[in-house]
Structure 1
Amino acid sequence: MNLTQSLVTAPVARKGVAQLDEALDRLAHADRDARQAAALNVGEIADPAAAPGLVARLWSEPDPFVRETLSWAITRVAAAATPLLLEALTSARAATLDRALHVLSKIADPATVDAMIPLADDADPHVAAKARWALARIGDPRAIPAFVAHLGVGDDTTRNGVTRDLASFAARAVPALVDALTSDKTHVRSHAAEALCFMGPGAEGATDVLSGALDDPDGEVRVSAAMALFDLRTPRAHAALTRRTKTADRRVRAIADRAARRPGGP
């Protein structure tokens, strides 16, 4: 039995401080409100010695509101809890992975990113999505390739999540998305253009490649590129787009016409 498994099954250990002992004991109370109050109390005490008990209770707590309070309490003893949370990332239990990732995202320590990145490609789509969400919240650019690897992959929900996550990196994700826009795979180019469109002004560094994408053989790529240029509102983006007011693609033409008629230019 490894440390994580023992934490899941063990009772909360007493720490020898009366107030903390009482609060840790009440984390196992049958009444939800009592557990909630206990989690708040342990968080307020913020004694690193409580970390094993808090993390153990996180795995077994059935109530989502109490779990969220436990998550907060764990962030109050982050240095002591982080090794336990990282060990939990080796669990085969999806719920454990989800909860560990959730708390690690709140702690937001860049030193945890390398351990989290492999889970962005987990076989369980919920775990993978949670890992990507957590990595985006931490915001360390080392995670960007893990998101780019999922361009064009999965259903609409998965794609939308990857789009939002990549956009959260703003200009730091632009070089990787520019490379993806030159992919020989249509679904990758289309999703890269969509992410740049969602990014708004942060995509300015992609202006040239977005301008070139207005001639992409795929219509969805062309439209996403046009919308990204429209949202940039820079002179270069405006010039590239308004040159397409006569293009054969009616959707791109409509976006170009809107740009040309926009009051005040870019």
Structure 2
Amino acid sequence: MVPINTEHATTQLIAALAADAPSTRLKAALTIGTDPHPALLDALVARCGTEPDFYVRDMLTWALTRLPTDLTVPRLLNELASNESQARSQALHTLSKIGDPRAWPAMTPELLRDPDDEVARAAWRAAEAVVPEGHERELAETLATQLGRGGREIQRSLSRALIALGTVIEPILQRALTSDDPVIAAHAAATEKLLHDPDAAFEPAVKEAKRIYALGNERQD
């Protein structure tokens, strides 16, 4: 491939990132990632916020990870203030891939509880990837406030983020098991099961947890 070392080449690639055909946009992102150049950082980040195609977004993220982190991390952190949910979620997704601990201060409780499910999911993954040693319990406490949120995929994403923090989550899950909300209690039980048996399937674990919770209530009655 021709090196990206001229203003003309840069202009062509920026235009290709906005082309109508997804294949053209994908090829442009691949070219940029293969021969990364800081001059294209802003164009990559901007396109992440609007790109409709999953595979192109994935290639854009890969291209960003190929650039120097001293440039990408601050730029991505700025993107977290965007009013556009996709811009925030894609910036978080890329930060999770980079795994730079400098992103940790941005993983605020407000971001981890973002009302947009996709932003919240991306924030959970990013926070788990950048949490400094010794802050795992703090992060787990915040993540646990989201137990019971959303449907199966959202709940599974939260469980994965919690489990990645290790056994520090056990007392937090034990506390959540006593919740008056059966959805929270079932989600906590399923997460605890997965913590000790990573090969277990998530959905059966949730169903079993709900069944046990219901039986327990019947006995109390």
> What is the 5 A alignment of 1:182-197?
185-187=179-181, 190-197=186-193
CA distance 1:155–1:68, shift in 2 (3 Å): closer
CA distance 1:42–1:200, shift in 2 (3 Å): same
Equivalent in 168, 171, 193 of residue 172 of structure 1: 168
Q: Partner residue of 2:207?
A: none
Aligned equivalents of 2:72, 2:17: Cα separation in 1: 17
Q: Is 1:163–2:159 an aligned residue pair?
A: yes
The one-letter code of the counterpart of 1:44 is T
1:175 shift after superposition:
4.3
1:19 shift after superposition:
4.4
TM-score for the superposition, normalised by structure 1: 0.60
1:87 shift after superposition:
1.3
Q: Is the 8 A contact 2:50 2:86 kept in 1?
A: no
CA distance 1:137–1:219, shift in 2 (3 Å): same
Greater RCO (Cα-Cα under 8 Å, separation 6 or more): 2
Aligned equivalents of 1:176, 1:131: Cα separation in 2: 20
Q: Give 5+ residue unaligned stretches, structure 1.
A: 1-13, 203-217, 224-248, 250-266
Aligned equivalents of 1:30, 1:221: Cα separation in 2: 53
What number of residue pairs does the alignment pair up? 194
Aligned equivalents of 1:138, 1:65: Cα separation in 2: 24
Q: Partner residue of 2:116?
A: 124
CA distance 1:176–1:111, shift in 2 (3 Å): farther
- SS of corresponding position for 2:62: helix
Greater mean deviation of Cα atoms: 164-173 or 39-48: 164-173
Q: Which runs of 4+ in 1 moved over 6 A?
A: none
Q: Is 1:46–2:40 an aligned residue pair?
A: no
The one-letter code of the counterpart of 2:145 is A
Aligned equivalents of 1:190, 1:61: Cα separation in 2: 36
Q: Partner residue of 1:24?
A: 14
Bigger Rg, structure 1 or 2: 1
Aligned-residue Cα RMSD (Å) equals 3.3
Deviations 1:174-227 (A, max 9, x none): 34334x25x76333555433322110169xxxxxxxxxxxxxxx942999xxxx
Equivalent in 70, 80, 89 of residue 80 of structure 2: 89
Q: Partner residue of 1:211?
A: none
Deviations 1:9-39 (A, max 9, x none): xxxxx98455445433432334332222221
Aligned equivalents of 2:155, 2:214: Cα separation in 1: 15
Q: Is the 8 A contact 1:132 1:165 kept in 2?
A: yes
TM-score for the superposition, normalised by structure 2: 0.71
Q: Is the 8 A contact 2:90 2:122 kept in 1?
A: no
Q: Partner residue of 1:200?
A: 196
1:89 shift after superposition:
1.0
Q: Is the 8 A contact 1:151 1:162 kept in 2?
A: yes
CA distance 1:168–1:158, shift in 2 (3 Å): same
Q: Percent identity?
A: 29
